């Protein structure tokens, strides 16, 4: 499987594949490239309906030129904690961003969301975001305003009265609730249309079906989010705890059923069930 940057010819093949309605995986197979490479390429350059090979190639060249003019990648990449591979983290952040873009989130908003989500603290200032993403403060401000309106980040007052933008454990729950409320507004408008268009007419029946469907989906989403909310607050399990859960009975100290010396039930040292050394 070839590596390196996509060539202009490969981008033309991607454009042809999109025009033919091929899935990203099929286009990637024909190019002998990872599916993530094709997905990221398309979403970075207008999406499946607006992708153009020539524009995408020029945009890539401009980005490469800007990178050469700025500091080196090593200087831009923050030092990674816990012994993480900085390059692997950077590539994963791009993949995470691409997936969020594919779900409908605008590019800069997806980049900011990914950057916040993948920091251990879950919070950064506007200056830190701008430095990490190599974009202007205005771009960060616009992205934060959007994410805030969607309930996906919150603002906190940090040191020296600087705002910090936080994506915490509850953000995904709040986002689901915000989405359900948006559906509820559509349901309300659809049912208003039923009255305007006249009950029993084809158009009003269509709107009523839409309202019933979205009402069911919205209420189900809220119930599911409420039931699963505690999952977001579950602390990560330590390797030791996981090992204890997977250990076979009788393999740890005191776990064997009465296998120590003096094996009568409770008559000698380590003789009761579970009291001898396994």
Contact 232, 173 (CB under 8 A): yes
Asked whether the predicted pLDDT for residue 86 surpasses 80, the reply is yes
Higher per-residue confidence, 84 vs 207: 207
**144 and 178 housed in the same domain:** no
Residue 180: give the domain boundaries. Answer: 171-233
Asked whether the predicted pLDDT for residue 245 surpasses 70, the reply is no
**90 within some domain:** yes
Asked whether the predicted pLDDT for residue 256 surpasses 60, the reply is no
**193 and 149 housed in the same domain:** no
Q: What is the pLDDT of residue 222?
A: 94
**Range 175-201 average pLDDT:** 92
**93 within some domain:** yes
Task: Tell me the range of 103-117, 201-215, 231-245 where mean pLDDT is highest.
Answer: 201-215
Contact 242, 249 (CB under 8 A): no
**91 and 164 housed in the same domain:** yes
**18 within some domain:** yes
**197 and 218 housed in the same domain:** yes
Of all residues in the chain, the percent with pLDDT exceeding 90 is 37
Give the mean pLDDT of the chain.
80
- Poorest-confidence range of 1-10, 77-86, 120-129? 77-86
| Residue 272 CB burial class (10 angstroms; 0-12, 13-18, ≥19) | middle
Work out how many domains the chain is built from and give that number.
3
pLDDT tens string 143-180: 999 998 887 888 888 777 788 998 877 878 888 888 89
Instruction: Return the CATH number at 45.
Output: 1.10.10
Asked whether the predicted pLDDT for residue 185 surpasses 90, the reply is yes
Instruction: Return the CATH number at 109.
Output: 1.10.10.10
**190 and 223 housed in the same domain:** yes
**275 within some domain:** no
**152 and 177 housed in the same domain:** no
| pTM, rounded to two decimals | 0.54
Q: What is the pLDDT of residue 78?
A: 58
- Maximum Cα interatomic distance, the chain, rounded to a whole number of Å: 88
**186 within some domain:** yes
**139 within some domain:** yes
- Poorest-confidence range of 66-70, 143-147, 257-261? 257-261
**150 and 179 housed in the same domain:** no
Bridge pairing between strands 123-125 and 163-166? antiparallel
Q: How far apart are the first and last CA of the chain?
A: 51
**213 and 151 housed in the same domain:** no
**20 and 64 housed in the same domain:** yes
Domain boundary among 42, 69, 96: 69
**242 within some domain:** no
Domain boundary among 69, 101, 123: 69
pLDDT tens string 17-34: 999 999 999 999 999 999
Q: What is the pLDDT of residue 149?
A: 86
**65 and 101 housed in the same domain:** no
Domain boundary among 11, 38, 69: 69
**64 and 23 housed in the same domain:** yes
The residue written with tokens 């910090």 in the block is 164
**220 and 181 housed in the same domain:** yes
Q: What are phi and psi of 125, to 5 degrees?
A: -85, 170
Bridge pairing between strands 154-157 and 123-125? unpaired
**200 within some domain:** yes
Residue 160 to residue 256: CA distance in whole angstroms: 60
């Amino acid at each position: 499987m070839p590596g390196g940057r996509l060539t202009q010819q490969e981008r033309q093949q991607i454009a042809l594949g999109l025009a033919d309605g091929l899935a990203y995986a099929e286009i990637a197979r024909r190019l002998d490239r990872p599916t993530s490479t094709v997905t990221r390429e398309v979403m970075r350059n207008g999406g499946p309906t607006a992708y153009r090979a020539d524009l995408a190639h020029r945009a890539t060249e401009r980005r490469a030129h800007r990178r050469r003019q700025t500091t080196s990648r090593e200087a831009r990449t923050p030092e990674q904690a816990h012994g993480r591979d900085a390059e692997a983290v950077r590539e994963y952040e791009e993949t995470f961003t691409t997936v969020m873009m594919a779900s409908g989130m605008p590019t800069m908003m997806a980049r900011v969301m990914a950057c916040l989500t993948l920091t251990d603290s879950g919070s950064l200032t506007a200056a830190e975001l701008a430095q990490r993403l190599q974009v202007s403060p205005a771009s960060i401000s616009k992205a934060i305003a959007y994410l805030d309106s969607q309930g996906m980040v919150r603002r906190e007052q940090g040191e020296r009265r600087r705002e910090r933008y936080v994506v915490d454990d509850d953000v995904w729950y709040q986002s689901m609730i915000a989405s359900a409320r948006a559906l509820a507004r559509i349901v309300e408008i659809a049912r208003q249309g039923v009255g305007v268009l006249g009950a029993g007419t084809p158009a009003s029946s269509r709107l009523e079906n839409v309202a019933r469907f979205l009402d069911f989906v919205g209420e189900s989403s809220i119930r599911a989010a409420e039931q699963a909310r505690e999952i977001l607050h579950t602390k990560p399990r330590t390797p030791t705890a996981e090992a204890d859960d997977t250990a076979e009975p009788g393999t740890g100290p005191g776990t064997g059923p009465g296998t120590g010396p003096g094996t009568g039930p409770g008559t000698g040292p380590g003789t009761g069930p579970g009291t001898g050394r396994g």
